[in-house]
Amino acid sequence: MQKSEFLDRLQEGKLSRRQVHKILIGAGMALTTMPITRRAAQAADEAIYFTWSGYDDPGFFPAYVKKHGGNPQMPVFADSEEARTKVQNGFVVDIDHPCSTDVKRWTDANLLQAIDTSRLTGWGTVFPQLKSLQNTQIDGKQFFIPIDWGNTSILYRPDLVDIKEESWTLLWDERYKGKLSVAADGTSSVPLAGIVAGAKNPFDMTEAEVAQVKELLVKQKPLLRFYWDSNSTVEQALASGELVASDGWNSSVVALQGQGVPIKFMNPKEGIMSYCCGLVLTKNAPHLDKAYDLMDAMLQPEAGKWLVTAMGYGHSNKATFDALSDDELKAVNLPRDPTVFFEKSIFQQYIPNTDVIQKMFEEVKAGA
Partner 1 sequence: MHSKAISRLLTAFALAYLAFLYIPVLLLPLFSFNDNIYITFPLKGFTLKWYEAMVAAQPLIDSLVASVQVGFAVSVVSTVIGMLAAMGLTRYQFPGKGLITSTIMLPLVIPYIILGISLLSLARQVLDIDLSLWTIVAAHVLVCVPLSMLVLIARMEGFDKSLEEASLDLGEGAWRTFWRVTFPLAVPGIVSSFLLCFSTSFDEFVLAFFLSGNQPTLPIYMYSLLRFPAKVAGALALASCILMGSIILIVFAEWYRRRGIQSQQEGLI
Partner 2 sequence: MAATGAIDSGGRPGASGWDSLRRFWRRRPGLRALVLLSPALIILLVMMVAPLLLTVALSFATQNGFQIDRTPTLANYAMLFSPEGNLYRILIVKSLWVSFTATVAVVVLAYPMAYYLAFRVHRRKLLWIILITVPFWTSYLLRVFAWKVILGFNGAINSGLIWTGVIDKPLEFLLYNPTAVTITLAHAWAAYAILPIYVSLEKIDRSLLEAATDLGDGPLRRFLRITLPLSLPGTIAATLLVFIPTVGDYLTPSLVGGTSGIMVGNSIATLYGKANNGPMGAALSIAMMLAITLVVCAFLVLIGPKRLRRQAG
Contacts to partner 2 by CB under 8 A: 79, 81-82, 84-85, 105, 108-110, 178, 184-187, 221-222, 224-227, 229, 233, 236-237, 240-242, 354-355, 358-359, 362-363, 365-368
Query: 80 vs 220, which CB is nearer to partner 1?
Result: 80
Closest residue by Cα to residue 316 from 325, 305, 331: 305
- Tell me the H-state helices in the chain: 3-12, 17-33, 38-42, 62-68, 80-88, 103-108, 128-131, 186-197, 207-220, 231-240, 250-258, 288-299, 301-306, 318-323, 326-331, 339-344, 354-366
Give the shortest CB-304-to-partner 2 separation in angstroms: 30
Residue (161 or 255) nearer to partner 1, CB: 255
Dist CA 93 CA 48 (whole Å): 5
Around 159, how many Cα atoms within 13 Å sit in the side-chain half-sphere? Answer: 8
Using the minimum distance from each CB to partner 2, give the nearer residue, 111 or 307: 111
**Smallest gap, in angstroms, from Cβ of residue 358 to partner 2?**
4
19 class by beta-carbon count within 10 Å (0-12 exposed, 13-18 middle, 19+ buried):
middle
- 145 makes contact, choosing from partner 1, partner 2, none, with CB < 5 to 8 Å by partner type, with none
Residues within the interface to partner 1 (CB under 8 A) = 12-17, 28, 31-32, 34, 36-37, 39-40, 43, 48, 52-54, 56, 73-78, 82, 85-86, 89-92, 229-233, 235-236, 239-240, 252, 255, 258-259, 311
Q: Please say which residue, 194 or 314, places its beta carbon nearer to partner 1.
A: 314
Sequence length of the chain is: 368
Query: How far apart are alpha carbons 222 and 309 in whole angstroms?
Result: 38
The nearer residue to partner 2, 84 or 287, going by C-beta atoms, is: 84
Long-range contacts from 232-237, C-beta under 8 angstroms, 24+ separation: 234/155, 234/181, 237/181
Asked if 216 contacts 193 with a C-beta cutoff of 8 angstroms, the reply is yes
Which of partner 1, partner 2, none does 89 bind, CB closer than 5 to 8 A by kind?
A: partner 1
- Contacted entry of partner 2, partner 1, none for residue 40, CB cut-off 5 to 8 Å set by kind: partner 1
- With CB under 5 to 8 Å by kind, the binding choice for 45 among partner 2, partner 1, none is none
CB of 12 to partner 1, least distance (A): 7
- Cβ 172 to partner 1 shortest distance, Å: 27
Which listed option, partner 1, partner 2, none, makes contact with residue 184 (CB within 5 to 8 Å by class)?
Answer: partner 2
Burial label for 90, CB within 10 Å (0-12, 13-18, 19+), is: exposed
Nearer to partner 1 by Cβ, of 32 and 325: the residue is 32
Beta bridge partners of 152: 249, 273
Residue type, 194: G
Task: Kindly tell me which of 37 and 110 has the beta carbon lying closer to partner 1.
Answer: 37
Q: CB of 148 within 8 A of CB of 307? A: yes
As to burial, measured by CB atoms within 10 angstroms (0-12 exposed, 13-18 middle, 19+ buried), residue 15 is: middle
CB closer to partner 2, 1 vs 78: 78
- Smallest separation, CB 80 to partner 1 (Å): 10
CB of 345 to partner 2, least distance (A): 23
